[in-house]
Amino acid sequence: MDISRTILTEAVLPPEILPNVKGIENVPDEQKKKLARDFESLLIGKLLDEMGNTVGDWGEDDDQVFGQIKGIFNLYLSQHIGGNGGFGLWREIYESLSRLEQKGNGRSEAVDKQI
């Protein structure tokens, strides 16, 4: 890899202001629940990956195929766990989205005030 192409040699453009992004006020409840469940599945997947990193050497870890199979297994396992209720974190995420919708119409100002 040639690192000389990654060095900035020209001025960087200033960031553009985002257009007014729509909030969550018009999103159906079922879609919010799906979003919360999908997010929880993603977190569970990352948790499984990190838990797998703590396990000692199984003898097959240097094999790239084993790493891919382990990654696919963790993906499907996290989707299965998340799709069957998960840890219940999705309910908290869903309720948080609902509270944001009620307080500030789902806009970023409401998030800023909560933080």
Q: pTM for this one?
A: 0.61
DSSP single-letter state for residue 106:
T
| Residue 106 vs residues 25, 73, 85: alpha-carbon distances, Å | 6, 35, 25
Tens digit of each residue's pLDDT, the chain (115 residues): 566 666 767 777 777 776 665 666 677 888 888 888 889 999 999 998 888 878 766 665 567 787 788 888 888 999 898 888 888 888 898 888 888 777 655 455 555 566 5
**3 state SS of 91:** helix
Phi-psi region of 59 (alpha: psi -120 to 50; beta: other; left: phi over 0): left
